[in-house]
Amino acid sequence: MEIARLEGYLAWEAEVSAAARDAKAFAAQFPWLSPGERESLEQAYAAERLRYAEDVVDRAVERCRQLAARYREECRGICARWAAVCLSVAFGVVLLAVVPFALRP
């Protein structure tokens, strides 16, 4: 679990770095902006990109939760069916073992 958290942290930090890098590249397209305006544009661009990335992660997490719940339910159903089959087979074997002795004169 800790490795997954570390992996998530590193992935998010990479996204933050990429957002900052791309924000600088985007703002560089507008050479007429003052340094303050360029910095504001970079901050707004990076913030919007990180908001979008956060939304994507949130949707992925929610989908994973939905799938996990669905698979747990399906697994319970499969286990219940297998238990019913095993009990039926065991009951059949017991009947086949008992019936010949019960039919003896």
Instruction: Please report, rounded to a whole number, the percentage of residues in the chain having pLDDT higher than 70.
Output: 100
Q: What is the pLDDT of residues 56-75, one digit of tens each?
A: 999 999 999 999 999 999 99
Q: What is the pLDDT of residues 33-63, one digit of tens each?
A: 999 999 999 999 999 999 999 999 999 999 9
CA distance 24 to 66: 38
Q: What 8-state DSSP symbol labels residue 67? A: H
What is the pTM assigned to this prediction?
Answer: 0.68
Name the nearest CA neighbour of 14 among 62, 49, 63.
49
**From the CB of residue 22, how many other CB atoms can be counted at a distance below 10 Å?**
14
Tell me the domain boundaries of the chain: 2-76
Centroid of chain to Cα 64: 3
| Residue 103 reports pLDDT greater than 90 | no
Q: What is the pLDDT of residues 18-30, one digit of tens each?
A: 999 999 999 999 9
